[in-house]
């Protein structure tokens, strides 16, 4: 996804939530979920963006959710830069280190590779904090 696409997703969530999203959530009596989303982004927003950006979850969902939660734009942009850079540099490092044989594995199992990397990253931070 391009940088412009990331900001577009953020803008969609930020500017269209009141007009479109809020009425839908109110209709389904789901405003508590919105409040939980905002609280999660208030406490863990940068980490949510970084970790979800490493996983196979479509990044457009992360950008829209960031806008909906009204997460500040500058930390969003910086976390997006870190997240997307880590993902692409991980793939580049694997290709550089293992060459052509790993290409087919990555193409077939990209979700597994990025999910394992995200889990290792989170596990590392948890280990550093609590051990």
pLDDT in tens, 11-57: 988 998 888 888 988 888 888 988 998 999 999 999 989 888 877 77
Say which residue, 72 or 111, is predicted with more confidence.
Answer: 72
Tokens linked to 84:
């997307």
Tell me the whole-structure pTM to 2 decimals: 0.73
CA distance 114 to 124: 15
Tokens linked to 71:
């997460």
Q: Is the pLDDT of residue 1 over 70?
A: no
Give the residue ranges of DSSP H helices in the chain.
Answer: 3-16, 22-27, 31-54, 59-68, 73-98, 100-108, 110-130
- Other C-beta atoms closer than 10 Å to the C-beta of 38 total 15
Per-residue pLDDT, 76: 94
């Amino acid at each position: 996804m391009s940088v412009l696409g990331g900001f577009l997703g953020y803008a969609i969530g930020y500017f269209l939530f009141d007009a479109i999203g809020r009425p839908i959530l109110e209709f389904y009596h789901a405003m508590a979920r919105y409040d939980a989303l905002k609280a999660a982004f208030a406490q863990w927003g940068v980490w949510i963006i970084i970790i979800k950006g490493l996983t196979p979850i479509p990044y457009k969902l992360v950008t829209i959710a960031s806008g909906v939660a009204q997460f500040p734009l500058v930390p969003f942009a910086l976390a997006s830069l870190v997240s997307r850079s880590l993902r692409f540099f991980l793939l580049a490092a694997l290709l550089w280190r293992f060459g052509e044989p790993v290409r087919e594995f990555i193409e077939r199992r990209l979700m597994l590779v990025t999910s394992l990397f995200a889990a290792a990253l989170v596990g590392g931070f948890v280990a550093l904090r609590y051990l």
